[in-house]
Amino acid sequence: MPQSLSSVLIHLVFSTKNRQPFITPAIEPELFKYLATELRNMDCPSLAINGTTDNVHILFALSRTMTIANVVKSIKGSTSRWIKPRSPELRSFEWQAGYGAFSIGRSQVGQVKRYLARQKVHHRKLSFQDEFRTLLLKYEIPYDEKYVWD
């Protein structure tokens, strides 16, 4: 086969450092648009982006030439540099060190998009930490609680 082809869909989740509520309604639309642009520039088009004041969920197609770690490092770094000069309140903005990346099948896209669309409603009842633990359990990812949060 002379050509390399792939279809890898990723549900990516990460939060602000210490779950600080930096992602306000004023900055959120610009941030999500910026994330989508950065992903598109890496040939990793986003299918859905949403979140709350302290976390982001992104559903995207992973380029066949990129690793998940490189995508995350790139978008966290670029968005951090982009967001800090936006206002004095955002100068101390940081993302958490880690992230969760969950592979999904093409048949799950609609379900994950609906889940992402309801983030604000969902987080009225559930903290980011509880949601993240639920995702880790759902995807059967072993973890040590003392190394998950910063």
**52-74 tens-digit pLDDT:** 999 999 999 999 999 999 999 99
Give the pLDDT confidence score for residue 147 in this predicted structure. 85
Q: State the average pLDDT for the chain.
A: 94
Give the domain 8-147 fold.
Alpha-Beta Plaits (3.30.70)
**24-48 tens-digit pLDDT:** 999 999 999 999 999 999 999 999 9
Measured CA to CA in angstroms, residue 104 lies from 26, 101, 117, 132 at distances of 31, 10, 17, 16
The answer to whether the pTM exceeds 0.75 is yes
Give the pLDDT confidence score for residue 12 in this predicted structure. 98
Residue 1 has pLDDT above 60, yes or no: no
Q: Are 59 and 113 in contact, with CB atoms under 8 Å apart?
A: yes
Residue 79 has pLDDT above 90, yes or no: yes
The closest alpha carbon to 62, from 104, 8, 101, belongs to 8
Return the SS3 of 103: strand
Percent of the chain with pLDDT over 70: 99
Q: Are 35 and 56 in contact, with CB atoms under 8 Å apart?
A: yes
Under the banding of pLDDT at 50, 70 and 90, the label for residue 10 is: very high
Q: How far is CA 126 from the centre of its chain?
A: 17
